[in-house]
Amino acid sequence: MDLPPPPDGPPAEIAGGLSEADARKRLEQAGPNSVPLPEPSPGRLLAKKFWGPVPWMLGTALLLELATGRPLEALIIFLLLLLNGLLAFLKEKRGKAALRLLRDKMEVTARVSRDGLWKTVPAREIVPGDLVHVRQGDFVPADLLLGSGTPLLDQSSLTGESLPVPKGPGDPLFAGTVVRRGEGTGFVTRTGKDCAYGRTVQLVHDAETRSHAETTVL
């Protein structure tokens, strides 16, 4: 995945962090720092697997075989239709489980500066402009622009890079990456579905909405 370029430097008003009042106002404007994903019921999810180009073609072939008096061929096509739907259903179930793991990485706590004091808050309450401190072992909770510190970042969940990447002041830190060594402080530039990790989760979700067979036919 191509990562976005870093934004401009931190605005002066967040040099010491936001006030609680300003943070609440920004939370109302930007929304929570989370990635909402639709969670259809298993029954509805299974039913959707029998609605699309591949099921339509198999269903049409099934009706033609029945109309021409070939029940054995019709039974074979019916079994293929059933197998196609079940495999697609199981594939999407596995994909959604992986998505939940990806999304849950953002459902952590974070250390932020509010009203001049450092405190721990749920990561979903982080807003653009917050001053955030990360250290060894932390998941980066939102896209940040590093102001101080030299952390070593594991970006494999976003870029596939196997080796940790050193960061310094002025460098971007992306949500979902992991601090392997060191620590740093930076201001939040993007949250939720707008951050790099949120877009990754959404891309994976979009890719899982179609089966491989349907994509090939289309």
Q: What is the count of structural domains for the chain?
A: 2
70 or 121, which is more confident?
121
pLDDT of 158 reads 78
Range of the domain at 91: 42-103
Asked, for residue 123, whether it belongs to a domain, the answer is yes
Helices (H), 49-195: 53-67, 71-104, 156-159
- 151-181 exposure pattern, b = at least 16 Cβ within 10 A, e = fewer: bbbbbebbbeeeebbebeeebbbbbbbbbee
120: left (phi over 0), alpha (psi -120 to 50) or beta: beta
- Identify which of 146, 150, 145, 107 has the alpha carbon closest to the alpha carbon of residue 126: 107
Asked, for residue 158, whether it belongs to a domain, the answer is yes
Q: Is 128 in the same domain as 177?
A: yes
Q: Is 25 in the same domain as 82?
A: no
Angle, CA 22 vertex, CA 18 and CA 28 arms, to 5°: 125
Distance CA 12, CA 1 (A): 32
Asked, for residue 209, whether it belongs to a domain, the answer is no
pLDDT of 102 reads 60
Asked, for residue 57, whether it belongs to a domain, the answer is yes
Asked, for residue 208, whether it belongs to a domain, the answer is no
pLDDT tens digits for 46-98? 767 777 777 778 778 888 878 888 888 888 878 888 887 788 777 777 766 66
Q: Is 46 in the same domain as 29?
A: no
Distance CA 58, CA 11 (A): 59
pLDDT of 9 reads 44
Q: Is a pLDDT exceeding 80 seen at residue 148?
A: yes
Q: Is 47 in the same domain as 134?
A: no
Last residue of a domain, which of 52, 71, 103? Answer: 103
